[in-house]
Amino acid sequence: MTLPTEEQVLEALKVVKDPEIPVNVVDLGLIYGVDVMEDGKVDITMTLTSVGCPVQDLIRADAEMAVGRLDGVNDVNVEFVWTPPWGPDKMTEDGKRQMRMFGFNV
């Protein structure tokens, strides 16, 4: 069985967007860790832009579906953490550029 790489998982996660912010979760800097195990399970540790984010379940489902489509993936577990807290400093340069295009000051 061929397992996806961490880079392939991150690329798959780029289709997942916070509905309130027009940037994907990878470029927003919300992904804190990806662990691909030999049995095909993928654990994703991520955060959200705010603790009370009302779309947490939607983002989790989107992430599980996006990564679950990769060859070799049998199970996806998304865990939300709040430490360290998210801040704009965690965004990629591409994410900051996208935010500026939509009028956000980052």
pLDDT tens by residue, 31-63: 999 999 999 999 999 999 988 888 999 999 999
Query: How far from 77 is each of 4, 12, 59, 70, 103, CA to CA, in Å?
Result: 15, 15, 12, 14, 34
pLDDT above 80: residue 1: no
Residues facing 79 on adjacent strands: 45
Which pTM was predicted? 0.93
pLDDT tens by residue, 6-20: 999 999 999 999 888
What percentage of the chain carries pLDDT values higher than 70? 100
Q: CA-to-CA distance for 21 and 38, rounded, in angstroms?
A: 34
Instruction: Select 6-87's CATH number: 3.30.300.130, 2.60.40.3620, 1.10.150.120, 3.50.50.60.
Output: 3.30.300.130
Mean pLDDT score of the chain, rounded to an integer? 94
Question: By the 8 A CB rule, do 71 and 38 touch?
Answer: no
pLDDT of residue 20: 81
